[in-house]
Chain A
Amino acid sequence: MDHTLFVSELKKSAHSGDPYPAAWIGTDTLIRIASGHGLSPLKAQRIAIENRILPERYLRNYPSISFEEHLGLTDARVLIVGLGGLGGTILEILGRTGAGFFILADGDCFEESNLNRQLLSTSATIGQPKAHAARQRLAAVNPFCEAEVVADFLGKKDLPGLFERVDLVVDALGGIEFRPVLMEETANAGLPLVTGFIAGTTGLAGTVYPGGKNPSAFWQGEHGQGAECVLGNVATIVSLIATIQAGEVIRILTGKKSGLADKVFLADLDSMTFDLFEL
């Protein structure tokens, strides 16, 4: 499709770089112009970046995230399974950074005991489905992002239909029970899985590629046997591990080499231990 007229209007409305190192355009202006040309905000974001005009909201990503890397993020399709402590913070970071499309899956509703650590939970969202709160938050944070919601707990049979529509899967589940299934099915679909898991003040994160090594030994046991059931989950380690996962997702989506393939990152905020283990 020819976007010549849109691009022409875009360039007229864009600001020269100064005082920033790149040409830029404000969110409202870009969405208004896009609407006049029948373009979605995400499509408009892509065309703007192709033409080396950065949406103003990403200026402080630049040049740590280049135009080319921003295109990778714009085109990215990410499935986040679990929208509690890890998933909420991962979504926040990926949405703000500029990832384009999300499938947001969680069958749970917020309860008061989530408030200590789950970014998407507030006094106002208690009782609401986490997946719906996630979409609302994403829309408020970044209107360029697109999202679909699956407000159900996923089963094995649900996964193939979701996998064919994404490039990467984030394991942000709570509990050990479904993680091995998600990992195995993600590998069968040929996709990378970025996983994180925590208990108390201890947390770990890793990336599993098809045929690669994986941290499933941590998930041995019956439902309810993870150490988190004894120790709880505190906000510090949740947000730290979510940040590591989000960082790894951004690396992969921007074409960089995974930093956690065949490895597992460990942080323990009680002993202030940080390590990178080889699986």
Chain B
Amino acid sequence: MSTMKIQVYCFATLSGYAPGDGQLDIHEGATPEDVINRLSIPPQDVKVVFVNGRNQGRDVVLKENDRVGIFPAIGGG
């Protein structure tokens, strides 16, 4: 299966799961759900996923060079 490169940003308590340089090689047709699994992020800790700056959910099909932002619950003030 051919692969593609995407950019992945993980924030707050999830920052440690981000790939080293932010870049991830993943199979074509992958979704944010696949990215979460691939990075071994506990799925229940993920509350919000943005793709290319839009709130698109976890099952949208990603494309080469897409940017994925992954967030836990955040509520401090």
Interface size on A, residues (CB 8 A): 44
**Residue in A86, A268, A278 whose CB lies within 8 Å of B55:** A278
Which chain A residues border B47 with CB–CB below 8 Å?
A: 217-218, 220-221
- Closest residue of A by beta carbon distance from B11: A202
- Sample of 18 further A-B pairs with CB below 8 A, known A218-B47, A231-B12: A85-B76, A175-B75, A175-B77, A176-B73, A196-B77, A197-B76, A199-B72, A200-B12, A218-B73, A219-B74, A220-B73, A226-B72, A227-B72, A228-B74, A228-B75, A233-B76, A275-B53, A279-B55
- Chain A positions 250 through 279: 1 when the CB is less than 8 Å from some CB of chain B, otherwise 0: 000000000000000010101101011111
Residues of A contacting B17 in the complex (Cβ-Cβ under 8 angstroms): none
CB-defined contacts of B74 to chain A, threshold 8 Å: 176, 197-199, 202, 204, 218-219, 226-228
Which B residues lie at the A interface, using CB under 8 A?
9, 11-13, 15, 47-48, 50, 53-55, 69, 71-77
Say yes or no for A225: interface residue by CB 8 A criterion. Answer: yes
Whole-angstrom distance between the Cβ of A231 and the nearest chain B Cβ: 6
Contact residues in B for A177 (Cβ distance below 8 Å): 75
CB-based nearest B residue for A85: B77
CA A197 to CA B48, docked complex, whole Å? 14
Say yes or no: A226-B75 contact (C-beta < 8 A), given A277-B50, A277-B69, A278-B55.
Answer: yes
**Is A84 a contact partner of B53 (Cβ separation < 8 A)?**
no
Residue with the highest number of chain A CB atoms closer than 10 Å, among B9, B11, B15, B53: B11
Report A-chain residues with C-beta under 8 Å of the C-beta of B77.
Answer: 82, 84-87, 172-175, 196-198, 233, 238
Grouping DSSP codes into helix (H, G, I), strand (E, B) and loop, the B interface class, with mixed when no group exceeds half, is mixed
Closest 7 CB pairs between A and B? A228-B76, A176-B75, A226-B75, A227-B12, A174-B77, A227-B13, A86-B77
Q: Please indicate the chain B residues that have their CB under 8 angstroms from the CB of A197 in the complex.
A: 74-77
Contact of A218 among B13, B48, B53 (CB under 8 A): B48
A160 to B53, CA, bound (A): 35
Bound CA span A228–B76, Å: 5
Determine whether A179 belongs to the interface, using a CB cutoff of 8 Å to chain B.
yes
Q: How far is the CB of A63 from chain B (nearest CB, A)?
A: 33
In the bound assembly, the distance between CA atoms of A181 and B39 in angstroms comes to: 33
The answer to whether A230 and B13 touch (CB under 8 A), given A87-B77, A277-B54, A279-B55, is yes
Cross-interface CB contact of A225 among B12, B54, B73, cutoff 8 Å: B73
State in angstroms the CA–CA spacing of A179 and B73 once bound together: 12
Q: Which of chain B's residues has its CB closest to A171's CB?
A: B77
B56 to chain A, nearest CB (A): 9
Q: Which residue of B lies closest to A175 (CB)?
A: B75
Q: Point out the residues of chain B lying under 8 angstroms from A229, CB to CB.
A: 76
Contact pick for A219, options B9, B15, B55, B75, CB 8 Å:
B75
CB of B21 to closest CB in A, whole Å: 12
Q: Which residues of B contact A198 (CB under 8 A)?
A: 74, 76-77
Residues of chain A lying within 8 A (CB to CB) of residue B9: 271, 273
* Residue among B15, B53, B74, B76 having the largest count of chain A Cβ atoms under 10 Å: B76
Give the distance to chain A from B73, nearest Cβ to Cβ, in Å: 4
B13 touches A231 (CB 8 A): yes
Q: Decide if B53 touches A276 in the complex (CB within 8 Å).
A: yes
B46 to chain A minimum Cβ distance, whole angstroms, is 10
User: In the complex, what distance in Å separates the CA atom of A277 from the CA atom of B11?
Assistant: 14
